[in-house]
Structure formats: structure tokens, C-alpha cells
């Protein structure tokens, strides 16, 4: 960082992305038809992407929905066969299509593509989330919301049928996850829940009386449907199994689903243990900077307590939180634009908002294709939480904003001249996207934005959480032993032989610093969404290895800004496809006609 100006020292100048404008190819057409079929099967997704040409409603969460999606995927594979790629962009698109469809097909063939319920990313949440990003200003905006509300009760009925069918045939949702989701459904339907929140928007009073009544009626029916859903989930839970672990075979597939890479769970588990040790060592060093006179095993905890108690690191109330988030985001964009990254004027628009739920999560939603709806960072604040600590959350703002998810998504959306719509706005692989966001946090530390020991402790604390969940998520679902060799880092889990929910809770309490409500949310998340949480740090590992490989090949000509420019221009890809694409860009002459093979059970 340039100490005289507070700005990062510019690397090599940022120039345009490597893929310039190009004529759409036959493979681009296949990818766009693929997206169109998927949007037709899920109109709520089409509305979210600002492409509401498929009517209103939701995906079919009933017994037949998974089969219809599978047929759409197979149609894309049939269209791909025999179509040669026109250029490297096509080669990457084909590789990405075959990789994504391949793992989805294998999940379907093994009976694992149906509705499994969890507390963060299942139809219980997705049906409600359809309303979060819909504009709520004009009468036309509210007509969309009213139409979508009208489709909700039938969708929930289909979901209940789908859950019951899957409880009979698999994949089975365990009782704790069903009960957890039932509680969420009840909170959405409550008098002060998110559905009622739709009627409290200031623009509602300006609507015609008939539209207001349609809105209130739709909200009443939505609340009724979700109240009934909660009751059904509790009833289904009475006969559901208690065990939430999915086993090694399914877990391998889930890791592929969320990373796009053929990773070894056992090797990844052992790597996660090493990462946990390393980040705790870094935290010890940082704690010495914060409390140089303190001695003892609890130095990290004491340093965190001192940071929490610092009134200059506290925000009071949601308004202060939003204003602080917005300020940190704008500063990062201003400092990085034109130096480390290419950030156009439309990409600079990033909104920070309080989410309409109280689950405790923090997440990002991308801009619409025309940037009319900006990228948004959402904070779901738990009930009763009124004090926020900046030292913990500065790195979160970088993760969700710039140079994290917002830069990543906005760069893809802006690449209309080179990438087809599927790659620009619809393709998302957790290991790639979340891995980039963690990699971006480390970049900000390296560039001096986290030189304050408290802010750096916040980044390390977040990295510790990501390492801990690699260990617990894989260990729990794959039936691995508790690694007693890490001793005190296990907390009260030291006596366990195999991972259990109780051992996991004790381990996470030792390694994740957050409020109990938020930590319980995370704990249930890992047990109900196998393979997703480890994709963050496993993805970061791939990003760092890809950068190092690029640097080694470039030698003295290596430019970090150039690597980022090339990598981000590709959009979100599976991690194997990312490496394939970077290999093509680095030395296309080595394999000018290299093509991926078709997906198979062994792919």
C-alpha cells in the first residue's frame, strides 16, 4: 500500500479482458437454449434474472420435477454432440456444460437429485426468497409480486408431495433438518415475518385499492401455506431418521457438485486439519500485537474480547451497520478500480441492505443483466442483535463486495460481447465463486487493507471458520475419526472417536467466534448441506495454486493483475474447467483442438 495516499500501489496497468467481441457461435446457441429450457422449468429464477418471459410461478418441487430437469439436461448433451468448437471460448463453454450436466446426471441416476430439505438452500427458503430482489416501486412491480404470490400455495402443495415421495424413495431428509426448516417456515409466516413485510412497504399505500387488496389476500394465502408447510414438516419428521450423515459415496458426488472438481474427501480432510493449525498460529501472532503483555493459552480469546470492548470498533443499530458497510464498499471500489481491477461505472453500483429474515446469514445477489438492478449485499440480522463489531466484519464486506462476489459477478455480467448468457448470468459453482471470495480476502490483507491488527484478526477468524468446517463437514458426513492430534483445537470434542452432531458442536464452539444463534445456524447448515461449506476453502486452494502455476509459466513477465483479468473474464466455472480454461489461455498452441469427453458415471 502507498502509505502517503492510503491507496494500493498499482501493479501493471489494467487493460481490457482478453476475449474481445465475437460473433455468437453454434455452441453459444446451445448454451443459450440450455438456459432457456432451465428458465422455463423455474419461472422464479427467470424473474430473478430479470428475464420474466416464462410466465409466473416456481420450479416443480413435486415428485416429477427432477425428471423434467434431467430431460432438459440430456437435450443439451444431444445438441452438443457433433458440434465442433469455433474458438477457445467455445471449448470452455463445452467443457463447462459437460462437467455441470455430468455431475447432475450422475446424481439423478443414483436417485439423489430430488428435494432434500435443509435450513439454508432448499425449497423452503427459495420459494420465499423469490420476493427479495423483485422491485417494489411501481404498480407494474407490484403486479409481478401479486402474480407470484398467487402461484405460491400450489407450489407449496407440490413441495409437500415431493418431500413425502422422497422420504419414501430417497434422498431422505433427517428429522433435525425437517424440524429446523419448520421453524423457519413458521417465522416467515408469523405476524412480523417476511411475508407480512411485503405489505409494509411505503409504496403499497400509493397503489389502487384493488391492488392493495390483492396483495393482502396473496400474503394471507402465502402465510397460510407456510403455516401448513411447517406442520407437514413436523409431521414428516416424526418418522424420519435422526442421522444426518450421507456417507462417503454420496459425499464424493456432492463435493463434485459444489466444486466442479474430482477431490478426494480424505485428502481434503487432512489438508483442512493442516490449514486449521496454520491459521491458529497466525492468530496467535496477531493476538500478541493486540495484547503484547498478555500470556497464556487464552491469548486469542482475550484479544478478541478486547476488540469487542473497543467502542471505536462498535456499530449500534442496523442503520449504522448499513452505512458502515456501504462506506467500506465504496472505499474499496475507489481504491481498486483502474489499478488492480477494471471496474466500469455500472459495476461500481453496489447496495448494502438488511435482509428481510433473521437467520443470521450474510449473502450477495448479483445485478440484473442490464445493471438496472444493482448487485446487493444482504445482512440477515438475528433477533435481539443491535451491536456489531467492525473488526469482525470488514473482511466480510470485501468477501461479498469488491474484490469478492460483486467484482466477480459484475465482471461476468458485463462480458456480453464475448460470453453467452448461460456463462454470464446463470453459471455458478460454489467452489469457484466462494473460493475466489476467500482468495480476495487474502488479497486485501496482502495489499495493506487489513494492516490494522484487529481487522486482520477478523480476516483470520473467518479463515479459521472456513478451515474448521472443512474438517467437520467432511469428517461428519464421511464417518472419519476425530483428529485427536490437534488437541486443544477440538475443544470438548476431544474424547470422541467419530464425528457426531454433539462433537461437531463442541468443535465449532472452540473454533468459530459468533453469537450462539448464528453458530447454531451454521452447525445445522453443515449437517444438512453436505459438501457445500468446504467448497469455500477448497476453492481458495485451487485459486492460489492456479495463480502460482500461471506465475511459474510466465516467469519474469508475470502480472498479478493480468492473471486476475484473464481468470475473471471466464465467468464462474467448475474448478476443473477453470484449470482447463487457464491452460488454454496460457498456451493455446499446445492443444488447439483439445475437447472434453462426454460425461459418464466415472467422470
Which is higher by pLDDT, 436 or 368?
A: 436
Helices (runs of H) and strands (runs of E) counted in the chain: 23, 5
Mean pLDDT, all residues of the chain? 91
Three-state DSSP state, 572: coil
State residue 6's pLDDT score: 39
State residue 358's pLDDT score: 79
Residue 13 has pLDDT above 50, yes or no: no
- Residue ranges per structural domain of the chain: 26-84+115-170+175-242
Question: Cell numbers of 216, please?
Answer: 393482502
Contacts of 379 (CB under 8 A, 6+ apart): 321, 322, 325, 352, 353, 354, 355, 362
Q: What is the mean pLDDT of residues 202-218?
A: 96
State residue 18's pLDDT score: 54
CA–CA separation, 314 vs 572, rounded Å?
35
pTM of the complete model? 0.89
Considering 3-7, 130-134, 337-341, the range whose residues carry the highest mean pLDDT is: 337-341
DSSP letter assigned to residue 148: H
Q: What is the mean pLDDT of residues 481-510?
A: 92
Q: What is the mean pLDDT of residues 47-76?
A: 88
* Strand-pair partners of 363: 378
Residue 2 has pLDDT above 50, yes or no: no
Contacts of 10 (CB under 8 A, 6+ apart): 339, 340
Lowest mean pLDDT among 188-192, 377-381, 454-458, 500-504: 377-381
Confidence of residue 50 (pLDDT cuts 50, 70, 90): confident
Residue with cell 444493482: 374
DSSP letter assigned to residue 13: P
Residue 257 has pLDDT above 50, yes or no: yes
CA–CA separation, 115 vs 178, rounded Å?
12
Confidence of residue 495 (pLDDT cuts 50, 70, 90): confident
Q: What is the mean pLDDT of residues 72-88?
A: 96
State residue 132's pLDDT score: 86
Residue 115 has pLDDT above 60, yes or no: yes
State residue 11's pLDDT score: 42
State residue 592's pLDDT score: 43
Half-sphere exposure of 24 (CA within 13 A, CB side): 13
Q: pLDDT digit string (tens) for 437-475?
A: 999 999 999 999 999 999 999 999 999 999 999 999 999
Half-sphere exposure of 10 (CA within 13 A, CB side): 10
C-alpha distances in Å from residue 519, one per residue of 303, 315, 382, 511, 525: 20, 21, 11, 11, 10
State residue 177's pLDDT score: 97
Question: Cell numbers of 161, please?
Answer: 408431495
Q: Is the peptide bond before 336 cis (omega within 30 degrees of 0)?
A: no
Strands (DSSP E) contained in 339-392 are 350-354, 362-365, 375-379, 387-389
Which is higher by pLDDT, 169 or 323?
A: 323
Chain-centre distance for alpha carbon 89: 25
Amino acid at each position: 500500500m502507498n502509505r502517503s495516499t492510503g491507496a494500493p500501489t498499482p501493479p501493471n496497468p489494467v487493460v481490457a479482458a482478453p476475449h474481445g467481441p465475437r460473433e455468437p457461435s453454434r455452441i453459444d446457441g446451445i448454451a443459450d437454449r440450455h438456459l432457456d429450457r432451465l428458465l422455463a422449468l423455474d419461472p422464479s429464477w427467470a424473474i430473478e434474472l430479470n428475464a420474466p418471459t416464462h410466465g409466473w410461478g416456481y420450479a416443480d418441487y413435486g415428485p416429477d420435477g427432477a425428471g423434467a430437469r434431467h430431460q432438459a439436461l440430456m437435450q443439451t448433451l444431444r445438441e452438443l454432440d457433433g458440434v465442433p468448437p469455433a474458438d477457445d471460448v467455445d471449448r470452455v463453454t463445452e467443457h463447462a456444460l459437460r462437467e455441470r450436466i455430468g455431475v447432475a446426471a450422475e446424481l439423478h441416476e443414483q436417485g439423489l437429485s430430488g428435494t432434500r430439505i435443509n435450513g439454508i438452500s432448499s425449497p423452503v427458503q427459495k420459494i420465499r426468497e423469490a420476493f427479495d430482489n423483485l422491485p417494489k416501486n411501481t404498480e407494474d412491480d407490484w403486479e409481478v409480486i401479486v402474480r407470484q404470490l398467487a402461484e405460491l400455495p400450489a407450489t407449496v402443495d407440490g413441495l409437500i408431495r415431493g418431500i413425502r415421495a422422497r422420504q419414501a424413495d430417497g434422498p431422505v431428509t433427517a428429522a433435525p433438518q425437517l424440524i429446523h426448516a419448520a421453524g423457519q417456515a413458521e417465522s416467515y409466516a408469523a405476524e412480523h415475518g417476511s411475508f407480512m413485510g411485503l405489505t409494509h412497504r411505503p409504496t403499497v399505500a400509493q397503489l389502487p385499492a384493488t391492488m392493495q387488496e390483492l396483495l393482502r389476500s396473496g400474503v394471507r394465502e402465502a402465510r397460510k401455506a407456510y403455516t401448513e408447510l411447517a406442520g407437514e414438516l413436523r409431521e414428516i419428521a416424526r418418522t424420519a431418521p435422526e442421522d444426518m450423515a450421507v456417507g462417503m459415496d454420496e459425499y464424493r458426488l456432492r463435493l463434485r457438485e459444489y466444486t466442479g472438481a474430482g477431490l478426494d474427501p480424505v485428502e481434503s480432510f487432512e489438508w483442512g486439519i493442516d490449514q486449521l493449525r496454520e491459521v491458529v498460529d497466525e492468530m496467535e501472532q496477531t493476538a500478541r500485537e493486540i495484547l503484547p503483555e498478555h500470556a497464556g493459552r487464552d491469548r486469542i480469546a482475550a484479544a478478541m474480547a478486547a476488540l469487542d470492548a473497543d467502542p471505536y470498533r462498535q456499530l449500534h443499530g442496523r442503520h449504522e451497520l448499513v452505512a458502515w458497510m456501504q462506506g467500506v464498499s465504496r472505499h474499496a471500489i475507489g481504491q481498486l478500480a483502474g489499478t488492480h481491477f477494471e471496474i466500469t461505472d455500472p459495476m461500481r453500483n453496489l447496495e448494502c441492505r438488511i435482509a428481510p429474515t433473521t437467520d443470521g446469514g450474510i449473502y450477495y445477489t448479483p445485478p440484473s443483466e442490464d445493471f438496472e438492478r444493482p448487485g446487493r449485499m444482504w445482512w440477515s440480522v438475528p433477533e435481539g442483535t443491535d451491536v456489531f463489531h467492525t473488526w469482525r466484519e470488514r473482511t466480510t464486506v470485501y468477501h461479498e463486495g469488491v474484490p469478492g462476489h460483486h467484482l466477480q459477478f459484475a465482471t461476468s455480467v458485463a462480458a456480453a460481447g464475448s460470453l453467452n448468457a448461460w456463462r454470464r448470468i446463470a453459471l455458478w459453482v460454489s467452489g469457484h465463486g466462494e473460493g475466489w471470495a476467500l482468495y480476495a480476502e487474502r488479497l486485501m490483507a496482502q495489499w495493506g487493507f487489513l494492516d490494522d491488527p484487529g481487522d486482520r484478526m477478523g480476516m483470520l477468524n473467518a479463515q479459521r471458520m472456513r478451515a474448521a468446517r472443512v474438517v467437520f463437514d467432511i469428517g461428519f458426513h464421511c464417518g472419519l475419526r476425530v483428529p485427536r492430534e490437534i488437541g486443544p483445537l477440538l475443544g470438548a470434542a476431544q474424547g470422541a472417536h467419530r464425528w457426531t452432531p454433539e462433537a461437531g458442536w463442541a468443535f465449532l464452539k472452540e473454533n468459530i467466534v459468533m453469537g450462539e444463534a448464528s453458530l447454531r445456524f451454521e452447525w445445522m447448515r453443515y449437517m444438512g448441506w453436505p459438501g457445500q461449506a468446504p467448497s469455500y476453502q477448497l476453492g481458495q486452494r485451487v485459486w492460489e495454486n492456479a495463480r502460482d502455476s500461471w506465475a511459474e509459466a510466465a516467469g519474469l513477465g508475470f502480472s498479478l493483475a493480468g492473471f486476475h483479468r484473464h481468470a475473471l473474464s471466464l465467468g464462474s466455472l467448475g474448478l476443473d474447467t477453470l484449470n482447463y480454461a487457464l491452460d488454454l489461455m496460457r498456451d493455446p498452441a499446445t492443444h488447439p483442438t483439445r475437447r472434453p469427453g462426454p460425461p459418464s458415471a466415472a467422470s
